Structure 1
Amino acid sequence: MTIATDPAALDALLANQDPGRWDSFFADRSRPVPFFGPAPDENLAAWIDEGLLRPGQALDLGCGFGRNAVHLARHGVDVQAVDYSETALAWGREAAQQAGVQVDFVRSDVFELQVPEGAYDIVYDGGCFHHIAPHRRAQYVDLVVRALRPGGIFGMTCFRPEGGSGFSDDEVYARGTLGGGLGYTEEQLRAIWSAGLVIDELRPMRKPAAGSGTFGEPFLWVLRAHRA
Structure 2
Amino acid sequence: MKLLDLRAELENDLSWRLDELRHLRNLLLPTADQESWPVSSMRTLLVMQYAHLEGYVRNSANIYVAFINSIQAAASDVRAELVAAALLQEFEAVRKGGGVEAQEDGDENGVLLKRAKSQVAFVNKIRMILENPVEIDSGSAVSLDMNLSADVLRRQLFVLGIPSERVERAQFSALEFVRRTRHDIAHGNRKERISTGEFQAHTSQSERFMSDLARLITSAARDGWYRSGDGA
Per the normalisation by structure 2, the TM-score is 0.27
Q: Which structure: greater helix fraction?
A: 2
Which structure shows the bigger proportion of residues in strand conformation? 1
Greater C-alpha Rg? 2
Q: Give the structure-1-normalised TM-score.
A: 0.27
Greater relative contact order: 1 or 2 (C-alpha under 8 angstroms, separation 6 or more)? Answer: 2
